[in-house]
Amino acid sequence: MRKIKCVAIDDEPIALLVIQQFCERRGNMEITTFCDPRIGLEEIMRTKPDLVFLDIEMNGLNGLDVAKALPSECTLIFTTAHAEYALDGFNLDAVDFLHKPIAYERFERAVEKAIPHMGSLTESRQETIVVKQDYNSVTVPVSDIFYIEAMENYSRIFRIDGENIISRLNIKALHEMLPKNDFLRVHRSFLIPISKVCRFSKQEIHLQGLGRTIPIGRSYAKDIYEILAQKRRK
């Protein structure tokens, strides 16, 4: 995946610094920041970034008015200390609402939530994902993912090269990052690449080169069996 192009607008320089540092910490993000909402909006109209971080209460121009003028290509996350604006924000199709002071973990979840809405990122063939392991960003080739197993609020990514990763993202967030036609959630605890399936029944799946079976959850069984059977017929 190419880098996510971002613009942040906030009339508080400290708030912009926090967003900038969070983007650098997550990795794979390029950000430009603006204290003046009018100048920031001009830059957005010119460059059409993937993601916009936008404060609401600002001097000179209200963030809600800026949001109404955003190009349709931009995905929006509001950042504000005023929780009473949350409903207004979601009515303007914001994908998330970050309440100041913002914790890094909350910022990271908001970005992962926004990624599926970024058409320019998801339309091209996705070759890698970037996940956090401890405090480091790790780039994982999609083709190297053997399967993913849930671990409460974390996930373990089993890789073909044998170097497994424990990600701070849950399995649902990881599923949203991956190509939707290439991976299947077959159980509340398991996510698999369809291309690795060699045999399956309504209860379990065998993956090529894996010495164990992957269970199919009861609530997933009918849909999963039909999807895999259809793939096999093609």
Query: Using one digit for the tens of pLDDT, what is the confidence trace for 60-100?
Result: 788 888 998 998 889 999 998 876 665 665 567 888 999 99
Fold of 4-122: Rossmann fold (3.40.50)
**Residue among 54, 49, 60 nearest 94 (CA):** 54
What does the pLDDT look like over 113-154, one tens digit per residue? 888 888 655 544 457 888 888 877 888 888 899 999 999 889
187-197 residue pLDDT tens:
999 999 998 99
Nearest-angstrom CA–CA distance, 128 and 231:
24
Q: With 0.85 as the threshold, say if the pTM is over it.
A: no
In the chain, residues under CATH classification 2.40.50.1020 are 128-233
Q: Taking each helix axis as running N to C, give the angle between helix 104-114 and helix 13-26, from 0 to 180 degrees, rounded to the nearest 10.
A: 70
Residues of the chain with CATH 3.40.50.2300: 4-122
d(CA 94, CA 196): 36
Q: What homologous superfamily is domain 128-233 in, according to CATH?
A: LytTr DNA-binding domain (2.40.50.1020)
Confirm if 220 and 187 have CB atoms less than 8 A apart: yes
